[in-house]
Structure 1
Amino acid sequence: AYHVDDILTMYNGKTVEVKNTDAEGRLILADALTYAQEKGATRLIDLATLTGACVTALGTVRTGMIGNDQEWMNRFFSAATEVHEKIWQLPADEEYEKLLESDVADLKNVGGSEAGAITAGLFLKQFVHDGTPWIHLDIAGPAFNEKADETGLIGATGVGIKSILHLLQGGVASHDR
């Protein structure tokens, strides 16, 4: 168990000031990103039902995307478009990153009440090595259908998987893997 104002040391050694105990998923995902890179991953895509803020911003129609490499995001966006998955790129301006600054640790686990989907993604970015292309997909909105969609699907949608597979299988968007 942990409490507000605790300071955690992450797998990569960075310290995180806990400002919201309900933002635990990003802590685990941050360590997973570090571990994947330690094991040799040279490009990263993570998917998570990370924030209600993304549902508020984009509803259940689109997945929010944030990343550190525009070319990698463009390729993913093209792959998603080809397989009819709807993605929306979130901004990653420096001003949003400043919301994660802490006086007592390397960063806070939340950026406050504003821009929650963006700051959650930018929190994860802090655990990606410079030069490693990375995409975060906040799938909280389209991850689950409460009622049947146009194909009759109810329940878990697997959103993002078709796009990743298309990219891996050499779709036109994945030309120089």
Structure 2
Amino acid sequence: RQPRLVTMSYKPRGAKASVALVGKGITFDSGGLCIKPATGMATMKCDMAGAAAVAATVVAAARLQLPVAVTGYLCLAENMLNGNAYRPSDVVTMRNDMTVEVLNTDAEGRMVMADGLALASESHPDVVIDIATLTGAQMISLGNRVAAAMANDDGLRETVTGHFQSAGEPMWPMPLPADLRSALDSPNADIAHKGDMWGGMLTAGIFLSEFVGPKKGAAKKSKNTSEERIPWAHLDIAGPAFNDKAPWGYTPKGATGYGVAGLLSFLESYA
């Protein structure tokens, strides 16, 4: 199936702020040419949990008539094998004109999310939040019940984490160390889409940060500092998005709906 980037908007009159939500929507992830083992593939129908959370949040914000404009960007695709599948060593030109060297086709989520972030940035919202089942490294770091929050703005990271915690969705703040950026250096493109084995969750976040655009009025083509870019938070929900074990608390077996309560709590703070 062909990929789609779907937008959903709720724009109340007199909105106090504008928030863009970007969700990973890989409807099935086989790993592509770097195919997953069979034991790791059965739950990959859940790789669209970020996009599902964004869609539900936009609808809920409209039904609650929250005084904040919300636009959801659903980055929808399948990661499958056929003659048109992308390959390791491909160089892809992204929406913001950056070139990306593909090293592993099973790191596909960050590719669709990068274009979603670039598109979301074009309308210069006050805040951009992305949510994605992005890395297995997130589960290695924090287990399968706690999500990770990263950001280009420490205050935003702490605020988002607090809203998720208060909404009953466990989350923990994580850094984006500047020294790890060199792990994404490529001799063939502006950036490689995957680093080495160290800090995989963090380098994925650093990769995405490159596609967050400048604030309104900042120079579009300059290498913007974090202060010049739109405030952005990246939520890696690989662990808590899908529960393949026994139910616990309010969490059923299967898809959990993680993220909707926390995102709504954040949006309600503008009321």
**TM-score, scaled to structure 1:** 0.91
Measure the CA separation in 2 of the matches of 1:28 and 1:96.
22
Task: Kindly report structure 1 stretches of 4+ aligned residues shifted beyond 6 Å.
Answer: none
Alignment of 1:22 with 2:106, yes or no, is: yes
Measure the CA separation in 2 of the matches of 1:67 and 1:152.
27
CA 152–120 in structure 1, closer or farther in 2 if over 3 Å, else same:
closer
Aligned to 2:198: 114
Report if the CA contact (8 A) 2:86-2:105 is conserved: yes
RMSD (Å), alpha carbons: 1.5
Larger helix fraction of residues: 1
Could you tell me which of 70, 84, 103 is aligned with 2:187?
103
Aligned to 2:122: 38
Could you tell me which of 158, 161, 169 is aligned with 2:260?
161
Could you tell me which of 135, 145, 149 is aligned with 1:61?
145
CA 47–166 in structure 1, closer or farther in 2 if over 3 Å, else same:
same
Q: Secondary structure at the match of 2:184?
A: coil
Report if the CA contact (8 A) 2:90-2:101 is conserved: yes
In structure 2, the gaps of 5 or more residues are: 1-84, 214-227
Letter in 2 for 1:133: P
Measure the CA separation in 2 of the matches of 1:22 and 1:81.
30
Measure the CA separation in 2 of the matches of 1:22 and 1:145.
21
Q: Secondary structure at the match of 1:64?
A: strand
Q: Secondary structure at the match of 2:266?
A: helix
Report if the CA contact (8 A) 2:124-2:230 is conserved: no
Q: Secondary structure at the match of 1:99?
A: helix
Alignment: residue pair count: 172
Could you tell me which of 120, 145, 165 is aligned with 1:81?
165
- Report how far residue 152 of structure 1 moved: 5.7
Measure the CA separation in 1 of the matches of 2:184 and 2:172.
22
Report if the CA contact (8 A) 2:158-2:173 is conserved: no
Bigger RCO of structures 1 and 2 (CA < 8 A, at least 6 apart): 1
**Greater displacement, 72-81 / 134-143:** 72-81
Measure the CA separation in 2 of the matches of 1:149 and 1:120.
29
Could you tell me which of 231, 239, 243 is aligned with 1:141?
239
Letter in 2 for 1:159: Y
**TM-score, scaled to structure 2:** 0.61
- Report how far residue 86 of structure 1 moved: 1.2
Measure the CA separation in 2 of the matches of 1:69 and 1:59.
25
Measure the CA separation in 2 of the matches of 1:2 and 1:166.
38
Q: Percent identity?
A: 40
In structure 1, the gaps of 5 or more residues are: none
Aligned to 2:208: 124
